[in-house]
Amino acid sequence: MNYLNKLSRAQRLLALLFCIAALAAGIYSGVLQQRALNPLFAPLDTQARQALQHSLMLSSASFATARLIDRGIAFVSEAEVGVGVASVKPGQLLKPLQDMAVRYSDLMVVAMTSVGLQLFLLEFGKLAALPLFGGGILASATLLLLGPASWRSNCRYLLRSFIALLLLTRIGIPLAAYGVAELSDWVLTPQREAAEAALNLETAALQQVEQPLQADNDGSLSWLRQMAAKASDMLAAMKSFSDTMVEKLIQLIVIYSLQTLLFPLLSLYLLWQLGRWFVQRPLPVNTTPESAIPAR
């Protein structure tokens, strides 16, 4: 520090420019990112990636379960059972449950999209955040040092903005993903596992019931009888979905909405507000003794 104070203003400026040039060479050659930054944050990146991939796997499995429920109820709803000269569709009584399953599957698509977007942001922060935002930091610092005095306010704002973007994309996003996963495991996992176990138990019977194939030599009457028998089997399996199954689907919708939508959006909102505070906080004003003396 004493050595820097002995340097003239031009010498200090040249030293700062040399440091900026060295940082630019380290950033764009990949040395700083591959040998320093990525190894430093490798444990955090690994934990965040594993948590997001686990969420993606759970969302995919839940989507398959919801589509199985929808397919089973649709088969029962279209099957007609003859009663005298008339025919009825007993599966129509299960349409509310089918509507709930369709909405659940739609939410799983949104959840998988959300998790995929978070995985993209995680990889983007790992590979492109430092070259992109680091270059902006160096350019803003160079303009702040060499530009006219009228540019300094805008250059400080740009410098803070690029620093905030670099910190948020490289540290904030993986930290938020890992934090959301830990919070979800602590708060939501017991309820989710209980609800999914109940759904899987009830849908196991649906996998055993398949639509019969029409045989050419039996005729349409025999095929309709097979269809009616299969419809009865499917209806018996679907009746095991009691009112608690609708409750379980609603519970899963709430859990996945919190885990894959609300919690990540809340974490990103908090990171955004933190970045805004860092960028927009006022700079300290140095008061000289002359300016501190009140005017007479």
pLDDT in tens, the chain (296 residues): 555 566 677 777 788 888 888 888 888 888 888 888 889 999 999 999 998 888 888 788 778 877 877 776 676 666 555 544 445 555 565 677 777 778 888 888 888 888 888 899 899 988 888 898 988 899 888 888 888 888 888 888 899 999 999 999 999 999 988 888 888 888 887 887 777 777 777 666 555 544 444 445 554 445 445 545 555 555 555 555 545 677 777 777 788 778 777 888 888 888 889 888 888 877 555 444 444 444 44
Q: What is the model's pLDDT at position 162? A: 92
Give domain status of residue 3, yes or no. Answer: no
Joined together, the tokens standing for residue 219 give 């005729």
- CB 101, CB 248: distance < 8 Å: no
Q: What is the model's pLDDT at position 46? A: 92
Q: What is the model's pLDDT at position 89? A: 57
Q: What is the model's pLDDT at position 59? A: 81
Joined together, the tokens standing for residue 83 give 């009663």
Give domain status of residue 1, yes or no. Answer: no
User: How many independent structural domains does the chain possess?
Assistant: 1
- CB 133, CB 166: distance < 8 Å: yes
Instruction: Compute the half-sphere exposure of residue 123: CA atoms within 13 Å on the CB side of its CA.
Output: 8
Give domain status of residue 2, yes or no. Answer: no
Give domain status of residue 258, yes or no. Answer: yes
Q: What is the model's pLDDT at position 154? A: 87
Q: Which domain holds residue 174?
A: 10-208+218-280
Residue type, 240: S
Q: What are phi and psi of 92, to 5 degrees?
A: -65, -25
Which residues have C-beta within 8 Å of that of residue 104, sequence separation ≥ 6? 62, 66, 249, 252, 253
Give domain status of residue 249, yes or no. Answer: yes
Q: What are phi and psi of 238, to 5 degrees?
A: -75, -25
Give domain status of residue 294, yes or no. Answer: no
Q: What is the model's pLDDT at position 233? A: 56
Which of 195, 207, 197 is CA-nearest to residue 237? Answer: 207
Q: What is the model's pLDDT at position 51? A: 87
Query: Measured between alpha carbons, how far is residue 255 from residues 145, 185, 244, 249, 272 in Å?
Result: 51, 11, 16, 10, 24
Instruction: Compute the half-sphere exposure of residue 122: CA atoms within 13 Å on the CB side of its CA.
Output: 24
Give domain status of residue 173, yes or no. Answer: yes
Task: Give the chain's length.
Answer: 296
Give domain status of residue 268, yes or no. Answer: yes
